């Protein structure tokens, strides 16, 4: 039944917010990749290092998104 609904109705595409710049989207994608690495590693030392890298990238992304939103408004 779910497969039929997917075939007939399709998937709902999420809107790409117009106020976020391409540069910010690129940074978001980089942050996602770092998060994937963080979840893949088992070693505690590697996790600590990647966690630090992720938190730094997270700060950059948040400031970039805030800046884009202020420019839009």
d(CA 66, CA 53): 20
Nearest to 19 by CA among 71, 57, 59, 58: 71
DSSP for 23-59, written as a single string = HHHHHHHHHHHHHHHHHH---HHHHHHHHHHHHHHHH
CB atoms near residue 27 (< 10 Å): 20
- Give the start-to-end residue ranges of the domains of the chain: 28-73
Query: How does pLDDT run along the chain (73 residues), one tens digit per residue?
Result: 667 666 777 666 677 778 899 999 999 999 999 999 999 998 999 999 999 999 999 999 999 999 999 999 8
Q: What does pTM read for this prediction?
A: 0.72
């Amino acid at each position: 039944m779910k497969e039929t609904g997917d075939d007939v109705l399709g998937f709902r595409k999420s809107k790409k917010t117009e106020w976020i710049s391409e540069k910010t989207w690129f940074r978001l994608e980089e942050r996602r990749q770092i998060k994937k690495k963080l979840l893949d590693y088992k070693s505690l030392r590697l996790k600590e290092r990647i966690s630090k890298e992720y938190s730094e990238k997270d700060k950059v992304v948040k400031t970039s998104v805030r800046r884009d939103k202020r420019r839009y408004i």
